[in-house]
Amino acid sequence: MDEQYLEQFTNDNLKERFLNTDHIEVLEAVLADEGNRLGELEKIKSKLDFGKKVDPQEVQGLLPQVKQDVDTLLEATDIREPSLSSFGLFDGTNKDIIRMYVAGAGYLAGAVGIGIGARLWKAQVVKKGKRPSLVARRAFLLGIIPAVPGGFRIIKGAMHHKIRSNDAGYISATEELSYPSAVGKVRTEMFLAHEYVHHVQNVMGFYYRESINLGIALEGHARCVGKHIATLYSRKRDNPAYLYHYLSSGVPELATAYVWLCNRFKVAPDAKLAESAENITEEASELSLHTLGNALFKVYESAKGRQMLADIVHSRFVLPT
């Protein structure tokens, strides 16, 4: 994708474009609509069906339909399917877990070697004042070799487990899509949809470049696609839990951006619309990429329609002036 086309979507440019008083009225309309729908769903939240926790094999079966629906929305063809990864502690099929087992075995074997070497070293050097034997030196050295990388791998794996068992992500270099391992079917599919959008962005060239940071655009685009997928699944499957999942995070983001923009231009925000806003400061950097992207792309979609979501990844979209 041409870098000149991507330049309009840089974080700096989008932050500047967000500072527009006209956006306040648009956000109020979007917030009123999405906030009302969320309010209605909150009343029946206890009755919503988020589905049972799905295992890795089931997730593999969910991806093709999610892929098809996102591809259709974005008019994307010939997009290769990404690999999948979770990091649930008991996901025995997960390659990361296998690496952890191997690392653990290496660490234990190394620890045994270090222990043997240390005992021989103590017996020969400390107690008898002799030079350590070849066996002691080799045992100690051969113990360190697997123990050190094994230990680092375990620490790294534990950190990844803490992050990835509660969140989703996309690794562009390996085209790997990760998903949380301890949630129901609805949340799993919505996580897959969001991260798969990032995969489409990456494959089609609408993604980070060394000198171009597109974080706001990437997240805003994925958020808007996610809303349409949630609406589609809620209707086709007669299950509003999909829409609730989207709105429960999307509405607070919109409200936060709305209040921040009102404060910036010294305009009193509508109290009802601002109810779900998070605590914010006057610094634009305090708004997350997701929050800024969600708000700004909702403004653009209100003016340009859903077609803009496909146009963006096909180099056909020009930001409104």
Residue pLDDT, tens place only, 149-182: 645 555 555 444 443 445 678 888 888 988 887 7
pLDDT score, position 159: 45
The answer on pLDDT for 272 being more than 60 is yes
Q: Looking at residue 152, what is its pLDDT?
A: 55
The fraction of the chain above a pLDDT of 70, given in percent, is 73
Average pLDDT over every residue of 195-216 = 91
pLDDT of residue 147: 52
pTM: predicted TM-score of the whole model, two decimal places: 0.76
**Calpha distance 206→46 (Å, rounded):** 39
Task: Give me the pLDDT at residue 47, please.
Answer: 95
Using a pLDDT cut of 90, give the percent of the chain over it: 59
Termini Cα distance of the chain: 22
In the chain, the largest separation of any two C-alpha atoms, in whole Å, equals 85
pLDDT of residue 119: 64
Query: pLDDT by residue (tens digit) across 183-194?
Result: 899 999 999 999
What is the mean predicted confidence (pLDDT) over 102-126?
57
**Residues 243-251: what's their mean pLDDT?**
96
**Spatial CA neighbour of 221 closest among 310, 305, 285, 304:** 310
For 295, half-sphere exposure in the C-beta direction (CA atoms, 13 angstrom radius) is: 29
- Residue 67 pLDDT greater than 90, yes or no: yes
Q: Which residues of 90-119 are buried (b: 16+ CB within 10 A; e: fewer)?
A: ebeebebbeebeebeebbebbbebbebbee
pLDDT band, very low/low/confident/very high, at 90 (cuts 50, 70, 90): very low
Q: What is the pLDDT of residue 299?
A: 97
261 vs 286 pLDDT, higher one? 261
305 forms beta bridges with none
Q: Say what the pLDDT of residue 108 is.
A: 60
* DSSP-derived 3-state class of residue 79: coil
What is the predicted pLDDT for the residue at 126? Answer: 53
Q: Which residues pair with 177 in a beta bridge?
A: 84, 170
Mean pLDDT throughout 227-242? 97
Q: H or E element: which one contains 179?
A: strand 176-179
Cβ neighbours, 10 Å, residue 36: 11
Which pLDDT score is estimated for 78? 93
pLDDT (mean) for 96-103: 53
Task: Work out the number of other CB atoms within 10 angstroms of the CB of residue 232.
Answer: 16
Mean pLDDT of 207-216: 85
User: Phi, psi (5° rounding) for residue 177?
Assistant: -110, 120
pLDDT, tens digit, 9 for 90 and up, residues 16-63: 999 999 999 999 999 999 999 999 999 999 999 999 988 888 889 999
Task: Spell out the residues 6+ positions from residue 64 whose beta carbon is closer than 8 angstroms to its own.
Answer: 81
Find out whether 193 and 66 touch, Cβ atoms under 8 Å.
yes
Confidence of residue 114 (pLDDT cuts 50, 70, 90): low
Residue 89: its pLDDT value, please?
44
Q: What is the mean pLDDT of the chain?
A: 83
Q: What is the pLDDT of residue 134?
A: 61
pLDDT of residue 132: 56
Query: Does residue 220 carry a pLDDT above 50?
Result: yes
